[in-house]
Amino acid sequence: MIEIAHYIDNARVAGTSGRSQPVFDPATGESSKTVALASVEEVNTAVASARAAWPAWSKTPALRRARILDRFKSILWERADELARAISSEHGKTHDDALGEVTRGLEVVEFAVGVPTHLKGDFSENVGTGVDTYNIRQSLGVVAGITPFNFPTMVPMWMFPVALACGNTFVLKPSERDPSASLLMAEWLTEAGLPAGVFNVIQGDKLAVDTLLHHPDVAAISFVGSTPIAKYIHETGSANGKRVQALGGAKNHAVIMPDADLDMAANALMGAAFGSAGERCMAISVAVPVTDAVADALIERLVPKIEALKVGPASDTASEMGPIVTQQALERIRGLIDKGEAQGAKVVTDGRSFRQDKQGYENGYYIGGTLLDNVTPEMSVWQEEIFGPVLSVVRSNSYQEAVDLISSCQYANGTAIFTRDGDTARAFAQDIEVGMVGVNVPIPVPMAFHSFGGWKASIFGDHAIHGMEGIRFYTRIKTTTLRWPTGQRTDAEFVMPTLG
């Protein structure tokens, strides 16, 4: 049995807590690995390593920090397949999907390599007689990232490249469900020239999370996961004086207008709803066709595509959708479909009946694509984030009714509209109360030089992630006002100073 360890001071470190848990291959349902679960003392050791490394790293010229990240970027390009295989073996997503994840994370590294430009400050000459003012951005210190199972490389790379480029040191607590990728990234950072202690990985569960949230030497926490946990992370971290960005759950809608290209919309919904088995916070889980005629025509196009969906292990290159990450998650998805059906939703295509017949994979955590029609806002399948390959159809009589439906949702991560009408598209993009909007784009995840973040219960904290919002989150501004003595005598002043 292989034990997945921690990574501290540029080396793998075996767990000493005596606690561990199995890591499963979702494709087979079998386990050949365990992951160490850190004790408080082990978390403290990782933070102490990062704290000791911070003074020298923060004073390392930004250009040198960028060059290390540039070398890391090259390693990622060369070994993307290796990283993708590690992802697929523990998450279950197809190899091509895992490669796409690596690429989207790598784009943030590319953005971070430009940090010398992003960290430039402002200078004002003669704000008063003989007085100048300038500001700079400086690092926070030790920052931590707590990341989810669904993107074991991309989400960490949303965080640590920007944090490191800005001069912080980093402690990563990855998901215990698919932890191997974190160690590969740590070793490749070391190979790229990152000094010891600048990037550490601590494997663990809630004990490790709580230790980071309460640790006095951790200045900031970045988190991506479910809304209840995001709220807990934000409240607990903030109460302990930390800067927090906590991204939560989602219920993303796609509005399909009567003038839309329905073939394009149907193809887009297939990838957006069933890619990565729906285990994406940006998955489109609700289609909102405007008028029954559009709904019927859309469903007519979707049904044969869903029925033809190739569900299988990543080892089969023909697979379009892999298994669910755990048996517990699979049972939860099935239970929500059951509940939706009991509450009146029509099961048009039923993924619950899918059985994997490939030899050696019969015990994997598989489910087929499910399409539910006649879903209403009172149903659990609309109110809850299913996080599985389930697409709900909520029929709407008008554009405004569709907009009102989306605005009534507690989540506001992403949304999309399919239309040929520029006025409708512009009005939707301006008026909808959602953080990320796509027009004929099903999953509007911004490129790395923009920032990612929803609204309402999809985010807690004042900063979105990566892009310039990431630079602002991982730095604090310092403003210096200076006057050089001129030899002229000045008397003491006891009123509010004015420099003009």
Q: Which residues are catalytic?
A: 281
**Secondary structure class of 272 (helix, strand, coil):** helix
Max intra-chain CA distance, the chain: 91
Q: How far apart are the first and last CA of the chain?
A: 72
DSSP E strand stretches across 374-490: 390-393, 411-412, 414-418, 436-439, 455-456, 459-460, 475-483
Residue 166 CA to residue 471 CA, distance in Å, equals 7
| 3-state secondary structure at position 239 | helix
Across 407-441, b (16+ Cβ under 10 Å) vs e yields eebebbbbbbbbbeeeebbeebeeebebbbbbeeb
Residue 15's nearest CA partner among 152, 176, 169 is: 176
Sequence-separated (6 or more) residues with CB below 8 Å from residue 410: 227, 251, 383, 456, 457
Reference 173, options 37, 80, 75; nearest CA is 37
DSSP code string of 150-208: S-TTHHHHHHHHHHHHTT-EEEEE--TTS-HHHHHHHHHHHHTTPPTTSEEE---SHHH
Burial class (CB in 10 A: 0-12, 13-18, 19+), 78: exposed
Amino acid making up residue 289: P
What is the Cα–Cα distance from 286 to 395, expressed in whole angstroms? 10
CA angle 279, 407, 332 (to 5 degrees): 30
Query: For residue 320, what are the contacts with CB-CB under 8 A and spacing of at least 6?
Result: 94, 274, 309, 310, 311
Are 171 and 208 contacting, i.e. CB atoms less than 8 angstroms apart? Answer: no
8 A C-beta contact, residue 344 and residue 376: yes
Do residues 78 and 434 touch, judged by C-beta distance below 8 A?
no
Q: Is 446 within 8 Å of 454 (Cβ atoms)?
A: no
Are the C-beta atoms of residues 314 and 305 closer than 8 Å to each other?
no
Backbone angles phi, psi at 68, to 5 degrees: -65, -45
Cβ atoms 379, 395 nearer than 8 A = no
Q: Measure the CA–CA gap between 400 and 414, rounded to whole angstroms.
A: 18
Residue 253: beta bridge partners?
286, 415
